[in-house]
Chain A
């Protein structure tokens, strides 16, 4: 009964909108002016720039091509030549035409979905759905079929999520759940349509928001526009008064819900298994029903998450390398004095310190004293008290954070000198130097990186590599060598003034203001840090890399003399030879290599189409799952690493049971990590060679 009523309301709104609509308010002119002033390398605002905005805007409004017909696009293209004026707010002909059309097409899709939801899906028909289809449908019938297939693919995916959690499920028992999953899929889609067809103000707001997002994306992949609402989620998160899990979620450009803003010291941080960018697959309250986040948009995902009204949450996330993690979090109040970096002792051939650093955090409004470089320093003092002979710094999956902290951290290991260069808007590269002369730790070290080590963590690895201070092992890093700042949306803003006090601004923009260079003058942009000793990793194969991003900035170098004094070169070749001899027969490493090959081969196939026939779909899923399982399963028969806590933590855990729980899980996970195992052996070799 509810839905027809909604349609009546919407039609009424449409009528009002069509009759009025002389203006169309959006923030694009302010955004553009601000970006032109602050972006490190603003694109030329020529006809190509505006054509790209136009095309990208249409794409973003209908990424799955389930709303518009080719004829709609042809009509809209007539406005392409004058799109500059639309962006600059000088005229609104396009948006006056577009907004009602958009509403109408979403409503049409809604009716297709309503119709589809009334009948069971037939999973025996041999058909497929491609989310990457680049063409629009030419007929209404074709559009309806695509909507049905899209819904069917979503429903199949939901059944699959159940299969992932319920190992006892069979094809038959799953198929019995089809009506339930179909209803869920319908509810999700309806919810995502509702806010688009609700009224004129909402559609105007959505169009303005998408336009601003589209403009920001033209500058580079890390320049993002976000509304005051987005910002308020983070402010709530760090308010500090409430018990919390300590993470936020966002919808990435592919429409996937990912974790972001993992708060240092929060349960999400301390569990040691979550990173910004992890895909949130499903969540549930303790022993409750799994809620899938597949196909949710930002708003609906927030609603879904808020519906979990429990102090304990279980989540399943997909890491950048495709592996899955199940994590249970218990809400907690964050204490200002918590140390967010953790370290352990590994007694291999030598006594080694192992330290994990998931991000480069710095002090935030309500978490006083949280500086990651200081916390690392404290951990190092504790490790030095245990007489370690070397250190492994694990920054795999570390997506970056505060550059200042990364510099201070590099300074811990480097005596003095240039740590990096930053070039701002058309200026000269400026050297950042070690703020503290001297080294806190001067013994051999290995830094572990992977394809999800990005930005500040790449900078740290690159700096230590240039100075010959550490052996870098793992896989090439993400390839982002730029720095960003969040600014309130104000075209009069001056970067030299204290813009942080402009709290009245409604919307915000994250701008890429600088390019980063290594002490040697080279850049990690696009190519990432190349490890001295490389181990296979599937992250890049999965398409997670700066170079795979649209509008990524090109790589360049510092074009002037640079001055820094590297240490004596490390015996990289010898260490590499020894490592290769060990890893060439190691099962876990070979399995990862096999998975990488498989992903690369499968990638093209996946881009083509997803099978919608049950047997084929399950077969494909099982085969994929087995590849991942083989690559990431913990080998039962291998010898776990002899890992233990340092005395400082042992004492603390006597009174802090929660820390002990997290610690037990971490010990188990580290002890069986074949990458860590290999890094221990590399470091032991290095210690041995340097003793000689």
Chain B
């Protein structure tokens, strides 16, 4: 879900104007048209692709749409790369080429070509965080390339007395909607996702009974919950639909209850196990005749303590697992339903 949503964000920046004017002897109009035609074709393919992704189309259909989108971008890139200069000026050609090229790289996820992956890796805690950072940086790169292309486009038009008129076509309206929905989705998804990953690390640590990792991941998750809750509270419902915010907040509340109510039970069980092991080791060193009544009483008390802690631990783990499965299923259902409801449908 995430991957597609970020694609949307990357490519929902498109030219939303048409060109009007007369061809001149040297035909700047035709020159400009060649650049904008490629863009229009790419936009259509992109809408088709995103519509397939967002409305539960089959994997085969999604894959086919993606392939067509890549073909359109490749073709546009090739077309502008073969454009001659215009009266010695290559600015627009290179700006357009650069835009299509970066779009292609981003779609292929060949990020190493446009950013320092080592730098990102060092700054990220794990692969998923690195991936999100790469996506963000990719969006910035596409935006930057687009802004430059747009600037050159307008400069070219102005220089050659061509009037550009903003025009709302069906595609441009849908593209605009795609951008808004994606943006909203990302804003609710990322806070949820960060906590979701944080909880996963905590649960892994619990399954290994790794006290060091449990204590650290618990603190990290607490920080994420606080940060994410504040972000979610600031998000208004989308066209009256608060489902994404509400379902994400529900999951976060569950994580908070894990930290507050369940993790002390986990820590208690691990520490009581350690205490028991040490007592047992000390008792084993002594022969039966050396063991005092106090020794035996203390040992028995430790056995009872450990049994009680173990029961509590098992109960807590069971409850955590059940609640988690239920809430994550619910979140997935709400997210699919949100995209289905708000993402425009497009068949070309």
User: A interface vs B, CB < 8 Å?
Assistant: 335, 337-339, 373-374, 376-378, 380-382, 408, 411-412, 415-418, 431, 433-440, 442, 561-564, 648, 651-652, 654-656, 658-659
Whether the pair A408, B212 counts as a contact (CB closer than 8 A) is yes
Closest partner residue, chain B, to A385 (CB atom) = B271
Cross-chain pairs A/B with CB under 8 angstroms, 6 sampled = A418-B122, A440-B216, A563-B122, A655-B282, A656-B281, A659-B282
Query: What are the 6 A-B residue pairs with the smallest beta carbon separation, nearest first?
Result: A438-B220, A377-B212, A438-B216, A656-B282, A438-B219, A436-B216
Q: CA A373 – CA B215 in complex, angstroms?
A: 13
Closest partner residue, chain A, to B284 (CB atom) = A335
Whether the pair A655, B216 counts as a contact (CB closer than 8 A) is no
- Interface membership of chain B positions 279-309, coded 1 if the CB is closer than 8 angstroms to chain A and 0 otherwise: 1111101100000001100110000000000
Closest partner residue, chain B, to A655 (CB atom) = B282
Whether the pair B125, A433 counts as a contact (CB closer than 8 A) is yes
**Known contacts A652-B279, A652-B282; is A378 also within 8 Å of B122 by CB?**
no
Q: Please tell me if B110 contacts chain A, counting CB pairs below 8 Å.
A: no
Q: CA A424 – CA B23 in complex, angstroms?
A: 64
Which residues from chain A contact B213 at a C-beta distance below 8 Å?
A: 435-436
- Interface membership of chain B positions 208-223, coded 1 if the CB is closer than 8 angstroms to chain A and 0 otherwise: 0011110111111101
Whether the pair B217, A373 counts as a contact (CB closer than 8 A) is no
- Interface membership of chain B positions 190-223, coded 1 if the CB is closer than 8 angstroms to chain A and 0 otherwise: 0000000010010001000011110111111101
Which residues from chain B contact A335 at a C-beta distance below 8 Å?
A: 281
Q: CA A380 – CA B215 in complex, angstroms?
A: 10
Whether the pair A433, B122 counts as a contact (CB closer than 8 A) is yes
**Known contacts A436-B216, A437-B217; is A374 also within 8 Å of B198 by CB?**
no
Q: CA A586 – CA B281 in complex, angstroms?
A: 44
Q: CA A417 – CA B220 in complex, angstroms?
A: 13
Which residues from chain B contact A412 at a C-beta distance below 8 Å?
A: 212, 216
Majority SS at the chain B contact face = helix
Nearest-Cβ distance from residue B118 to partner chain A, whole angstroms? 8
Selected contact of A648 from candidates B217, B221, B275, B298, CB within 8 Å: B275
Which residues from chain A contact B123 at a C-beta distance below 8 Å?
A: 417, 563
- Seed contacts A381-B267, A564-B122, A658-B285; 19 additional CB < 8 Å A-B pairs: A337-B280, A338-B281, A339-B274, A374-B211, A377-B215, A412-B212, A415-B220, A433-B125, A436-B220, A437-B198, A437-B201, A438-B215, A438-B216, A438-B221, A439-B216, A440-B219, A651-B298, A652-B275, A652-B279
Whether the pair A437, B283 counts as a contact (CB closer than 8 A) is no
- Among A373, A374, A377, find the residue whose CB has the most chain B CB atoms closer than 10 A: A377
Which residues from chain A contact B274 at a C-beta distance below 8 Å?
A: 337, 339, 378
Q: Please tell me if B278 contacts chain A, counting CB pairs below 8 Å.
A: yes
User: B interface vs A, CB < 8 Å?
Assistant: 119, 121-123, 125, 198, 201, 205, 210-213, 215-221, 223, 267, 271, 274-275, 277-283, 285-286, 294-295, 298-299
Q: CA A130 – CA B125 in complex, angstroms?
A: 58
Whether the pair B275, A651 counts as a contact (CB closer than 8 A) is yes
Q: CA A440 – CA B212 in complex, angstroms?
A: 7
Nearest-Cβ distance from residue A601 to partner chain B, whole angstroms? 48
Closest partner residue, chain B, to A438 (CB atom) = B220
Selected contact of B219 from candidates A337, A442, A562, CB within 8 Å: A442
Which residues from chain B contact A378 at a C-beta distance below 8 Å?
A: 211, 271, 274
Nearest-Cβ distance from residue B139 to partner chain A, whole angstroms? 21
Which residues from chain B contact A374 at a C-beta distance below 8 Å?
A: 210-212
Q: CA A377 – CA B201 in complex, angstroms?
A: 17
Q: CA A596 – CA B56 in complex, angstroms?
A: 78
Which residues from chain B contact A338 at a C-beta distance below 8 Å?
A: 278, 281
Q: CA A659 – CA B283 in complex, angstroms?
A: 13
Which residues from chain A contact B122 at a C-beta distance below 8 Å?
A: 418, 431, 433, 562-564
Closest partner residue, chain A, to B299 (CB atom) = A655
Q: CA A408 – CA B223 in complex, angstroms?
A: 20
Nearest-Cβ distance from residue B286 to partner chain A, whole angstroms? 8
Closest partner residue, chain B, to A373 (CB atom) = B212
Nearest-Cβ distance from residue B220 to partner chain A, whole angstroms? 3
Whether the pair B212, A339 counts as a contact (CB closer than 8 A) is no
Selected contact of B223 from candidates A438, A440, A648, A656, CB within 8 Å: A438
Whether the pair A652, B278 counts as a contact (CB closer than 8 A) is yes
Q: CA A412 – CA B205 in complex, angstroms?
A: 14
Whether the pair A436, B217 counts as a contact (CB closer than 8 A) is yes
Q: CA A439 – CA B218 in complex, angstroms?
A: 9
Which residues from chain A contact B286 at a C-beta distance below 8 Å?
A: 655
Nearest-Cβ distance from residue A566 to partner chain B, whole angstroms? 14
Which residues from chain A contact B121 at a C-beta distance below 8 Å?
A: 431
- Among A411, A434, A437, A564, find the residue whose CB has the most chain B CB atoms closer than 10 A: A437
Which residues from chain B contact A654 at a C-beta distance below 8 Å?
A: 294-295, 298
Q: CA A431 – CA B119 in complex, angstroms?
A: 10
Nearest-Cβ distance from residue B117 to partner chain A, whole angstroms? 12
Q: CA A378 – CA B217 in complex, angstroms?
A: 15
Selected contact of A563 from candidates B119, B125, B215, B216, CB within 8 Å: B119
Whether the pair A411, B216 counts as a contact (CB closer than 8 A) is yes
- Among A339, A436, A655, find the residue whose CB has the most chain B CB atoms closer than 10 A: A655
Which residues from chain B contact A659 at a C-beta distance below 8 Å?
A: 282
Whether the pair B299, A416 counts as a contact (CB closer than 8 A) is no
Nearest-Cβ distance from residue A586 to partner chain B, whole angstroms? 37
